[in-house]
Amino acid sequence: MSNILICAFPNPGHVTPMLSVGLHLAGLGHTVTFHTGEIFRSQVETADLRFAGMTGRANIDYRGNSAEKENLPERDRILHNLKYWFIDPLPDQHRRLQQILEETPVDLIMTSSMYLGCFPMLLAPRENRPPVIGCGVTPLILRSIDCGLISHDATPEGRKRNQQEHFLLEKAFQPIADQLNLALADCGAPSISGFWADSIYTVPDLFLQFTGDAFEFPRSDMPSKVRFVGPVLPNKSAVFKEPAWWNELDGSKPVILVTQGTLANFDLQELVQPTLAALAEDNALVIAATGRADTGDLIAPTNAKVEAFVPFVRLLPKVDVLITNGGYGAVQQALSFGVPLVAAGDTEEKAFTAARVSWTGAGINLETRRPTPEQIRTAVHTVLAGSHYREQARRLQINFSRYNAFAEIARSVNTLIAETKDSRMADAPHPIL
């Protein structure tokens, strides 16, 4: 078997699916080294994978500094976060990656999207590095003539609008492109031409998107190296003990699950508290998964249960509606079980995920991260009242079921390693007989 290095940007939305991939590959006999922030050391080592921690600026604690806590204008907030989370760590990611490669034999590297530490290597000659597979744990932000970031329109008029959006997007994010090229120069790497975000998908040798094709805007110009493999779901938690209220999940009343995920959950007044208030008088069981032990000043009505952690793969088969701020992993899990959604998020990539929820018809996009209780109540009642959203969610569920993500990933890993070895053997000088 082979030696595989997995590099995951250090936040739960990236680490959780990549860790599931690592566990599967290790179970097939591969030797897996998992490279991420020190905050995840215990989680990786508990999974019996070799841990290689990040250092310096790359060793981010996702619970720390973020412009989400600051009163910055929207554009400045986005630029600040992109620089803080993804560009500034690149040189230290690159240096630590080179150290790992010097110390450990590596046949293939897998990276979560937005881990940019491989870029200097990917921009160097191909023969000097292992093959690299990028993994899409967030919505595609790859430009296309057929769509924008939050809309799809492949008509001639739509394509003109898409082109204009791309022009404005490139102009708005030029500061990020400049900072990225400065970080690359710091590593002795050449600059990236074109829109910097496209490189996330075009620079690796292969890019595997962790969803089904029905959840993503169709692109007639999709690069051949981008492939859908279906959702990567977490393993069922063997240590989870069902809470006392679990027997209330008996189908006698609707079950509503609300979450703000594990990153944008520092202010539960954004979505969790308004949801609890909105549904306080409903004949429903409302479950709030806070993603943190400190629930602050949450006020929970009698029909609500507040939990720091509930394994969604166990709970979602009993859920009627998921209310989410648009975390990609939570949405993929919900649709894997045919659960319709109410999405309310506009931080990180969440606006892009919420737009796809609306586009598929599998839920309602409230287009804000601070919805009012009235907006939430109306949306939930709308989803529950008819069959449309449930039917569309089940359509996505059927599409997802056609994939076997772990099998597709393992096949891609084995194929790329074999192709690389064959290519290098063909290029090697042959002895003169």
Torsion of CA 314, 317, 323, 327, to 10 degrees: 60
Which tens digit of pLDDT belongs to each residue from 186-232?
999 999 988 999 999 999 999 999 999 999 999 999 999 999 999 99
List the strands of the sheet with 255-259, edge to edge: 304-307, 285-289, 255-259, 321-324, 341-343, 363-365
pLDDT for 410 equals 98
Type of residue at 98: Q
Please state the rounded mean pLDDT for residues 350-377. Answer: 97
Token pair listed for 370:
């601070």
Confidence of residue 421 (pLDDT cuts 50, 70, 90): confident
Distance, in Å, from the CA atom of 362 to the CA atom of 396, rounded to the nearest integer, reads: 8
pLDDT of residue 293: 72
- Dihedral sign from CA coordinates of 29, 130, 205, 326: positive
* 408 exposure class (CB count in 10 Å sphere: 0-12, 13-18, 19+): middle
Which residue type does 86 have? Answer: F
- CA distance linking residue 92 with residue 70, whole number of Å: 26
- 13 membership: H or E segment, kind and range: helix 12-27
pLDDT at 413 over 50: yes
Q: Which of 113, 114, 86, 96 is nearest to 53 (CA)?
A: 96
The CA distance from 12 to 62, in Å, is 8
Average pLDDT over residues 56-76: 75
For residues 64 and 67, give the distance between their C-alpha atoms in angstroms, rounded to a whole number: 10
Residue-wise pLDDT tens digits, 115-153: 999 999 999 988 889 999 999 999 999 999 999 999 999
Domains of the chain are 3-230+404-427 (3.40.50.2000), 244-401 (3.40.50.2000)
Alpha carbon distance 235, 19 (integer Å):
10
pLDDT in tens, 5-38: 999 999 999 999 999 999 999 999 999 999 999 9
Average pLDDT of the chain? 93
- pLDDT for the residue numbered 67: 47
Nearest CA-CA partner of 211 in 1, 39, 45, 353: 353
